[in-house]
Amino acid sequence: MTLFMAVSVFYTVTLVGNTTIILLSHLDPHLHTPMYFFLTHLSILDLCFTTSCIPQMLVNFWSSDKTISYLGCAVQLYIFLGLGASECVLLLVMAFDRYVAVCRPLHYGVIMHPPLCHKLAFLVWASGVFGTLVQSPTTMKLSFCHHHQVDDFVCEVPALIRLACGDTHVNELQISVIGAIFLMGPLLLILVSYGRITQAVLAIQSQNGRSKAFHTCSSHLAVVFLFYCSVTAVYIQPRSHFSQKGGKFLTLFYTVVTPTLNPLIYTLRTRT
């Protein structure tokens, strides 16, 4: 019941916070900028991401019969994995937007023009579809143990790999490759972009200019830290001792806590 109440509160805040950002970004002409365009997509992703798993999670917390059908588990896996992959790419796109804003401010309007923003948004959602269509079918084809007990809060790849009784080397190799593409690759590029941003900020002479650049980037960097640290710990070694013991609590963190904190971080720290 404690988890039920806590997750219910977080989910409510997530719905209200992200919906508010979407509405304000659409209704306020001053927020029709690339930064808020991508922030709107992040809010949509967070809403869909949490809704794909939290309602079922709440049902299981409340009920003594903590079950999910095979079809329900498969649907949850496809949606959950696809949206997670999309968010990884979206955070990279947002880092590129911040790089252009700080390092190429005079060319920002020319580089981040609406057609490019829409193409990048399409890339974000298409990458999620690609990621889930590569990983999910092979995961659901595993030979699962007879007890059918998923030791996690949601049907995600590491938990289902641990549930399998057959050979999972191909699946573990696959999750490593997908992790390198959607986790380590974007994270490395984000760190490189922030290295360039740091150089540009240090070169700014005025204290006000440095402060403005810091406020522009700190919110995104905080979201990247929260999301990537928890997801990477769960997905890099799906059968590790840490993943078995602590992975489900990190899953609870990036499915419940992070989507709640994202709108709070952006609304408190972002300056236009």
DSSP state of 164: B
CATH number of the domain where residue 172 is located: 1.20.1070.10
pLDDT, residue 14, reads: 92
Alpha carbons 131 and 221: distance in angstroms, whole number: 24
What's the Cα-to-Cα distance from 150 to each of 52, 155, 158, 164, rounded to whole Å? 17, 7, 10, 10
- 48-78 b/e with 16+ CB inside 10 Å = b? bbbbbbbebbbebbeeeeeebeeeebbebbb
- Domain span at 114: 2-269
Q: At which residue do the structure tokens 């009920």 appear? A: 63
Q: What is the pLDDT of residue 269?
A: 53
Q: Angle at the Cα of 241 (from 237 to 244), degrees rounded to 5?
A: 85
Closest to 97 (Cα-Cα) out of 115, 81, 74, 113: 113
**Tens-of-pLDDT digits for all 272 residues of the chain?**
888 999 999 999 999 999 999 999 999 888 899 989 999 999 999 999 999 989 988 988 888 888 888 898 899 999 989 999 999 999 999 999 989 988 888 899 899 999 999 999 999 999 999 999 988 898 888 888 777 788 778 888 888 888 888 778 888 888 888 888 888 899 999 999 989 888 888 887 777 777 777 776 777 888 888 888 878 777 766 555 445 556 677 888 888 888 888 888 876 554 44
Q: Which residues contact 231 (CB under 8 A, 6 or more apart)?
A: 84, 88, 183, 250, 254
User: pTM for the whole thing?
Assistant: 0.88
Cα–Cα dist 242/137, whole Å: 26
Interacting residues of 222 by C-beta distance below 8 A, sequence separation 6+: 265, 269
Q: How many domains does the chain have?
A: 1
Burial of 221-260, coded b for 16+ CB within 10 Å and e otherwise, reads bebbebbbebbbbbbbbbeeeebbeebbebbbbbbbbbbb
Which pLDDT tens digit goes with each residue over 183-211? 889 999 999 998 988 888 888 777 777 77
Query: Looking at residue 272, what is its pLDDT?
Result: 44
The C-alpha atoms of residue 54 and residue 68 are separated, in whole angstroms, by: 13
